[in-house]
Structure 1
Amino acid sequence: MKKKWNLLFLFAFIVSMITLAGCGKTAGEASPYEGKWIAVSAQMIGMSVSVDETFGGAFEFEVKNGGKVSFSVGEVTGNGKWSAKDDKFSLTIEGEEMVGTIGENNISFDDMLGMGVKVIFAKEGTDAMDPARYLTKEEKVVIGEWAAESVEELLGDGPQTSMEGVENISDALRLNFKDDRNVAVVYKGEEIGTFPWSVAMGYCMIESENPSLSVTINDDDTLKVDYSDDEDYYTFHCVKSDSK
């Protein structure tokens, strides 16, 4: 009888050790969400906006073990909590709880910090960091290189295919819209700068005061660009370089 009890005790002991070992392994496993998440896209009223300008700097958070999270918004830093269930990711920072939708190495929050801004965070080091993934339909229209096809003076006689100061009208104005939302501008064959751009309701805003560039996206996917500086005022009609 004593021998039987010893065998039962040994069996129970072995089972408990296996269970503890299994539990310890599970507890030690890292969550797939652990790591740094960086805001790569922000949209308001269907229009892309700058993360830095909207939040006063870069926005990122780091998911840690045990439901803990640290975050930084511009120069502000702090701690919070997180949890995940199915395709939903709950994030609580500064007492504000937000629920995002989990995608492929990205998490999308429709109302970040109660500001009415949709923000997409990508996991650091993954393909989801590519900003081109989050371009709107209108933004995809303007991405690429554009060149003037004709030009109009303020009090001129209509569109002209020649312009003083350039041999080819396409060199009068060139715009290279990049998926990082910056556009390189060439005027009369000279590079004049690279400026941030955004698109909304058929218009493309280029953040430059001098020169001033106002861009309208036409229904035929050409661009009308009003260009002005201290000396000149022209309206250019531009087409994508690969469509000429």
Structure 2
Amino acid sequence: MIITAAAFGLIVGGLLGLVGGGGSILAVPALVYGVGLPLSAAIPTSLVVVGASSAVAVVPRLRNVNWRLAVIIGAAGTATAYLGTYVNRLLDQKVLLLAFAAIMVIAGVRMMMPTKAAGGSCALPGGGVHWRSCLPKAIATGAVVGFLTGLLGVGGGFLIVPALTLVLGLPMAATVGTSLVIIVINSVAGFAAHLGDLHIDWAVTAAFAMAAMAASLLAGRLGTNIPDRILKRSFGILVLAVAAYVTAQALLT
């Protein structure tokens, strides 16, 4: 079990290091179907793994992090994630999965389409930020992403990366680093919400997390040398693949 956990940790960490997202949506299925943990243990374990590996992956990208945006979006998302979690309990899970897949298809297609150079009030040509127009967008983005993350239960990075790129206009290099910081914030908040009823195998968690952190650090260093266009297109393909898988699971189960 520990070896299997480490193997999946390499995959999850590598993905986080390269594109700044996608770890949580793979970590939970890997822990449940690959490692054999119950869902009650897989969710908090995933939060530890994804949070720790994201913190390590951001180290090579510290110069590219927009810290103010990360804190604003993370704070707004933390508040609305609890609301999303509450609504999640009221809705049919198949409906939620299909909604998630639809959002992923839209985000994936948009990420793969040719776009104008990134920019806007949150990413001025000179590298600054016009906060009067950017701040409302950042708060709204954080609130929506946080709500959807809580509502759907997985995929924080899959939502944050397209939001930072398509809504706020950040270049991919800044998007990846900023996304990783936001994921760390969300992971800490999510783990704190599970402290009252925590079921976790710390040996499996440690093996998964150590492998993920090592892979995310290496991938993070390699990712800084990959052009934005390739990262965006690769991320878009990955999002569409996950959307297809989620749709199949929702319709066939």
Give the shorter-chain TM-score range: under 0.3
Q: Which has the larger radius of gyration?
A: 1
Using structure 1 for the length normalisation, give the TM-score: 0.23
Higher helix share: 2
TM-score, normalised by the number of residues in structure 2: 0.22
Identify, as 1 or 2, the structure richer in strand: 1
